[in-house]
């Protein structure tokens, strides 16, 4: 992902390019393993909040759910494509892994994180709910109670804590992240590709049977939240760099 100036926030262009890259990996027989990472100091900061803010400013009378629906419609096919890719995908998590970026990471098969990496369910700060399969992946990884804590509070956890919780497979030094991820990918390149692809498909059926349904539930949820005054307050506070005031807001 190559939008370092915006911490690789998920713009329409980036989503389209990422989906195209995954499709190329799918059909290119010479690609036997994939490493996904972010340019600059972040893996991915999640959805493009600036695009949301600009929409609210330019079209104050329109339903914000329109842009949210478009953004999620561009994003969710990437989650499914990563899981359906019958080749191992190693996520090299550098820096912040937030919101939709956390969903991207969890859609990978193996997660190798830098010591400086951070994992973050960012949604609650702008009055939103998770998308990108986060409610599905996180529930299965850490259980319902810890998942609820991370989603409800929006607390940022460091790489060691994410490793302890079973979100990351391993943590390495920042300077060795790409070399370690590449080394792991090269190790998998030597394995039988058909067997790995079939094993991934079997894992998906056992573990992710309802992922597509859950993505639709998430999509409806984020669209619903986008129409609330809480969402508008969260977006405004984000850009004013202040704590949002959700108390005593009439939801609609």
Give residues with Cβ within 8 angstroms of 236, minimum separation 6: 53, 244
CA–CA gap between residue 138 and residue 60 (Å, rounded): 34
Alpha carbon separation from 204 to 20, 27, 198, 234 (Å, rounded):
22, 20, 10, 35
CATH number for the region 4-239 comes to 3.90.226.10
Note the Cα 66 to chain centre separation in Å: 21
Range with lowest mean pLDDT among 20-24, 152-156, 185-189, 209-213: 209-213
How many Å apart are CA 249 and CA 230, to the nearest integer?
7
Tell me which residue of 89, 103, 169 sits closest to 138, measured CA to CA.
103
Domain locations along the chain: 4-239
Q: Mean of the pLDDT values across residues 119-127?
A: 93
Q: 128, 117, 131, 115: which is closest to 154 by C-alpha?
A: 128
Residue 250, Cα to own-chain centre: how many angstroms? 30
% the chain with pLDDT above 90: 73
- Other CB atoms within 10 A of residue 246 CB: 16
Mean pLDDT of 136-161: 96
Tokens at residue 236, please? 């405004």
pLDDT digits (tens, 9 = 90+) for 197-233: 999 999 988 887 788 889 999 999 999 988 888 888 8
Distance, CA of 184 to CA of 17 (rounded, Å)? 25
- pLDDT, one tens digit per residue, over 12-34 is 999 999 999 999 999 999 999 99
* Predicted local confidence at residue 211, as pLDDT: 86
């Amino acid at each position: 992902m190559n939008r370092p100036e915006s911490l690789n926030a998920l713009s329409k262009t980036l989503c389209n390019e990422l989906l195209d890259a995954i499709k190329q990996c799918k059909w290119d027989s010479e690609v036997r393993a994939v490493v996904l990472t972010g340019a600059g100091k972040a893996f991915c900061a999640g959805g493009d909040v600036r695009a949301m803010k600009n929409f609210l400013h330019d079209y104050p009378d329109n339903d914000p759910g329109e842009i949210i629906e478009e953004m999620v419609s561009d994003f969710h096919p990437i989650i499914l494509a990563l899981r359906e890719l019958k080749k191992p995908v190693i996520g090299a998590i550098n820096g912040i892994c937030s919101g939709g970026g956390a969903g991207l990471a969890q859609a990978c098969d193996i997660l190798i994180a830098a010591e400086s990496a951070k994992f973050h369910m960012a949604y609650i700060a702008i009055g939103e709910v998770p998308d990108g399969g986060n409610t599905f992946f996180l529930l299965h990884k850490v259980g319902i109670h810890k998942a609820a804590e991370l989603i409800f509070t929006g607390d940022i956890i460091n790489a060691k804590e994410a490793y302890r919780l079973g979100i990351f497979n391993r943590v390495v030094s920042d300077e060795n992240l790409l070399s370690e991820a590449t080394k792991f990918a090269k190790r998998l390149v030597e394995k039988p590709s058909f067997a790995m692809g079939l094993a991934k498909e079997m894992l998906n059926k056992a573990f992710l049977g309802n992922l597509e349904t859950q993505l639709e539930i998430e999509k409806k949820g984020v669209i619903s939240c986008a129409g609330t005054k809480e969402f508008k307050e969260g977006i405004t506070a984000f850009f004013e760099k202040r704590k949002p005031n959700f108390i005593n807001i009439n939801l609609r």
